[in-house]
């Protein structure tokens, strides 16, 4: 298995303008199947945004995404597969996330109704904070571009 540091060296051989410091490596979702499914959407150019619970960031102490920051995306078995750059971060109440963001997430039929159903279910099942899901919970809406795959 390739480590994130090894992968980053390979990426920088092709894109030496990228920063030297190895960025955070992470996978989408809460299961290997989620990771693979959502990564495939990124690689296809369909998924250009994601959403996270602000409450989960607070509960885990994990750093929130920042504009201009790079991330290494992992597949379901933890293998580095792509690099993205965060282009925008906005915090919105769940019930105010708009159809444009839902479409950019690239999942299902790309509608806001689908986005709301899937994300409510996800946060009810996999939330890393004791509050779980609330209709007005703060959601970190992150837009990104694929830099390398």
Which residues face 83 on adjacent strands?
Answer: 72, 148
pLDDT at 56: 95
Report the alpha-carbon angle 58-62-65, nearest 5: 100
Which residues face 11 on adjacent strands?
Answer: none
Please name which of 81, 108, 95 lies closest in space to residue 141, comparing C-alpha atoms.
95
Q: In what order do the strands lie in the sheet with 24-26?
A: 24-26, 70-74, 80-93, 138-148, 49-53
pLDDT digits (tens, 9 = 90+) for 19-45: 999 999 999 999 999 999 999 999 999
**What is the band of 71 on the pLDDT scale with cuts at 50, 70, 90?**
very high
4-148, superfamily in CATH?
A: Sulfate adenylyltransferase (3.10.400.10)
pLDDT at 7: 98
pLDDT at 108: 95
pLDDT digits (tens, 9 = 90+) for 93-147: 999 999 999 999 999 999 999 999 999 999 999 999 999 999 999 999 999 999 9
Are the CB atoms for 99 and 141 separated by under 8 Å?
Answer: no
Residue whose pair of structure tokens reads 């708009």 in the numeric block: 98
Residue 52: partners with Cβ closer than 8 Å, 6 or more residues away = 64, 65, 139, 140, 142
Q: Report which secondary-structure segment, H or E, holds 5.
A: helix 4-14
pLDDT at 105: 97
Number of C-beta neighbours around residue 6 at 10 A: 12
Are the CB atoms for 59 and 71 separated by under 8 Å?
Answer: no
Residue 17: partners with Cβ closer than 8 Å, 6 or more residues away = none
pLDDT at 72: 98
How do the domains of the chain map onto residue ranges? 4-148
């Amino acid at each position: 298995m390739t480590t994130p540091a090894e992968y980053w060296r390979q990426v920088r051989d092709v894109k030496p303008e990228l920063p030297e410091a190895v960025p955070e490596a992470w996978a989408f979702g809460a299961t290997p199947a989620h990771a693979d499914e959502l990564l495939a959407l990124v690689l296809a150019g369909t998924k250009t945004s994601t959403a996270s619970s602000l409450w989960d960031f607070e509960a885990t102490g994990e750093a929130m995404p920042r504009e201009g920051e790079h991330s290494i995306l992992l597949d379901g078995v933890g293998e580095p597969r792509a690099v993205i750059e965060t282009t925008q971060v906005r915090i919105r109440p769940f019930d105010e996330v708009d159809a444009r963001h839902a479409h950019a997430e690239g999942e299902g039929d790309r509608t806001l109704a689908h986005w709301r159903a899937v994300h409510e279910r996800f946060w009810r099942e996999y939330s890393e904070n004791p509050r779980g899901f609330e209709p007005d919970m703060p959601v970190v809406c992150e837009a990104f571009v694929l830099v390398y795959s």
